[in-house]
Homo-oligomer: A and B are copies of this chain.
Amino acid sequence: MNLERYFSDIINDVNNAIAKYLESANTPTLYEASRHLFSAGGKRLRPLILVSSADSLGGDRKRSILAGAAIETLHTFTLVHDDIMDHDSLRRGLPTVHVKWGEPMAILAGDLLHAKAFQMLNDSLTGFDNDIYHKVMETFVNSVITLSEGQAMDMEFENRDDVAIDDYMEMIKKKTAYLIACSSGIGSMISGGDNTTFEKFFNFGLYLGISFQIVDDIIGITSDESELGKPVFSDIREGKRTLLVIKTLNEASSEELLLLRSVLGNRNSSHEDLKKAAEIIKTHSFEYAYNLAEKYKVMALSNLSEINFKNKDAIDALIYISDFTVKRRK
């Protein structure tokens, strides 16, 4: 199978569905602000996972495309609001929504996307029995609730000095992994997967999501601005307690700690100090973080291997996505 074509077909259909739901004659500024981040590209990782999962069980493509559009729209709503909360001014190489339209409009655009996501999901469920309807909705709702809790933990961590690796794992499970688990899980549910199959798809997404976030934290320190689409070292400047930072704080010498503590969360740090801090972090944590990401990817694939699939190509697509998730750091 031509994987590139397989993925680009899904992405096109998902983009078209989203565009259709975000068309509007009245209040044009609100809708323009809501469409902004979609036009900046993005990997569409969550819909790719949802649709491939559905395909692997022989699910209806029309349904999975709409559910995929819902999950991408939900994800985008969280990005718009996270950028306000984190005071980030660049995303995917574009000014963030609140920078372009002001905070009130950005809050409102996020709220609209949140509701639009539910609208798309509701429409994707036409004709289903009550039990599937209720369970898909519940999984989707829980992903927003869990994500909000994860974001609250992330914000709280910035003011704490005693964040442990277990705290971090709990936080990224909530903030990132749960929505990816929800993508593969819903893909299974809307394609006739039973409870056991749902569990396996859900765990596949959960472990893949953890792996994905760890790699994202690594990329946040190794890549330059054009690759990142946002300023380099912003995680360090904001004092984010990533796995890398926690591991480093646990292991660094007292001399290294002195520098780290003066740089982490200090928005006035010089580029030179940020670079020094990044070097210290690399030395202590990269090998460890990469191995952990690899371990979770293997756990994800192990769940996938137990699935009684109908379409091998779609499973291959999910394996490709999993490998890419970890490899992209290089």
Query: Which residues on B sit within 8 Å (CB–CB) of A134?
Result: 122, 125-126
**Shortest beta-carbon distance, A34 to chain B, in Å?**
9
Asked whether, in the complex, the Cβ of B85 is within 8 Å of the Cβ of A152, the reply is no
State the oligomeric state as a number of copies.
2
- Cα A151 to Cα B26 in complex, Å, equals 12
Q: CB within 8 A of A112: which of B126, B130, B148?
A: B148
Chain A, interface size category, equals: 35 or more
Query: Which residues on B sit within 8 Å (CB–CB) of A119?
Result: 138, 141-142, 145
Q: Take A122-B137, A141-B119 as given contacts and tell me if A111 and B81 are in contact as well, using a CB distance cutoff of 8 Å.
A: yes
Query: Which residues on B sit within 8 Å (CB–CB) of A103?
Result: 84-85, 103
- Cα A61 to Cα B129 in complex, Å, equals 23
**Shortest beta-carbon distance, A117 to chain B, in Å?**
9
Asked whether, in the complex, the Cβ of B107 is within 8 Å of the Cβ of A149, the reply is no
The contact string, 1 if C-beta is below 8 Å from chain B, for chain A 109-148, is 0111011101100100111111001100110011011001
The contact string, 1 if C-beta is below 8 Å from chain B, for chain A 57-97, is 00000000000000000000010010011100000000000
Query: Which residues on B sit within 8 Å (CB–CB) of A108?
Result: 81, 85, 148, 151-152, 155
In the complex, whether A252 has a CB less than 8 A from a CB of chain B is no
Query: Which residues on B sit within 8 Å (CB–CB) of A27?
Result: 149, 152-153, 156
Most chain B CB neighbours (cut-off 10 Å) among A29, A103, A118, A137: A118
Asked whether, in the complex, the Cβ of B145 is within 8 Å of the Cβ of A112, the reply is yes
In the complex, whether A321 has a CB less than 8 A from a CB of chain B is no
What would be 15 A-B contacts, judged by CB atoms less than 8 Å apart? A24-B149, A26-B153, A29-B152, A29-B156, A85-B103, A86-B104, A105-B152, A108-B151, A108-B155, A110-B111, A111-B114, A115-B145, A118-B141, A119-B145, A122-B141
A contact residues vs B (CB 8 Å cutoff): 24, 26-27, 29-30, 78, 81, 84-86, 103-105, 107-108, 110-112, 114-116, 118-119, 122, 125-130, 133-134, 137-138, 141-142, 144-145, 148-149, 151-153, 155-156
The 5 closest A-B pairs by CB, nearest first: A115-B144, A85-B104, A30-B152, A27-B152, A112-B148
